[in-house]
Amino acid sequence: MGGRFMAEGRVTALAEGALMAALTVVLVLTGYFIPPLQLLTNIIWTVPIVVLIVRQNLRLGVMATFIAGVVIALFTGPLNATLLFVQFAALGLVYGYLFKIKAGAGRTIVIGALVALLSLLLTLALTFKLTGLPVEGLIQEFEGTVNYAMEFYRRAGILDHLAGQGLTPDQIQASLQGMINLLKLLLPGILMTASLLAAFANYLVAEKVLQRLGLKAAGLPPFRYWQLPWYAVWGVIAGLALWQLGDYYHLALASRVGVNILYVYLPLLAGNGLAAVTFIFYHLRLAPFFKAVLVLVALMYFPVALVSLVTLGLFEPFFGFRRHLRPPADKGE
């Protein structure tokens, strides 16, 4: 009798694995054949794998991922399927395992961001390897963008229009070159930030689906209580120190690492500051009209508002006023 129940359970698990693999295929192919939806499907196509691992086990999740990859390769070709699954499949498998063992949200997102970054770097490496384009070629493409942009401006008559405003072609080219140089400088930070955002978006979607299915009890607290730990400031200190020491002692690598650390921290600190402002708005019980006016003023003076949010996000964890003012009823959310 027990053997029969075990066999039925195994068949049920395999059937669920096949269903989740098929759903993964549908989501991936939807994004592939309808490109405007690809950004959305790249965020959600790993969710069936996460659900399968939480309901069953990691081994079945790996099998379903492999089967889905094979089927997708039949429609999109081995190269596209390989690049797609190298970039996102590991994140889905890791999230499935972490959700199953009930790991904390912060730990899950940090690990997910590291996995997403490694997957992105591996995808880029495979792309360069398969296309035969060296990294230096990508840098040269960045450099060539300035010439392409100047030629486009010339043909479109934009150069003449800007000349009427007192800008010479040399000044415009220097400005474009400065933007390209900044992009090259911040490329590592851009990749890290993109990985963090991808991991965070995947986490939010997977968590919400698991909650709807009754597979996860508690989720993230309301946005107004999101807060960086106080020791996160050491990353900012390290970034500033490397940046300044690199400039002072002419150490290009140290300076570049410091600037990229600060770039990665910028959205984190701004988000932390925005959460603190949301907390203040919530507890002051401001009328919607006044909230709308404050938001409108912030948009009108966006640079000042952004600097204020980053500053608040940097220092607020030290004061921790949200922890002290949080009502007991809210602490259980």
- What is the rounded average pLDDT of the residues 68-75? 91
More confident residue, 332 or 177: 177
Amino acid at 48: P
Instruction: Dump pLDDT digits (tens) for 182-200.
Output: 888 888 888 888 888 888 9
Instruction: Dump pLDDT digits (tens) for 11-51.
Output: 777 888 888 889 999 989 998 888 888 888 888 888 999 99
Output the six-digit token pair for 328.
């007991």
Report residue 333's pLDDT band, with 50, 70 and 90 as the boundaries.
Answer: very low
The domain locations on the chain are 1-132+191-219, 221-333
Instruction: Dump pLDDT digits (tens) for 140-155.
Output: 666 677 777 777 777 8
Q: Is 28 exposed, middle or buried (0-12, 13-18, 19+ CB in 10 A)?
A: buried
Contact call for residues 208 and 263 (beta carbons, < 8 A): no
Q: Measuring CA to CA, which residue among 151, 149, 133 is closest to residue 183? A: 149
pLDDT at 100: 92
Q: 165 in helix, strand or coil?
A: coil
pTM: 0.81
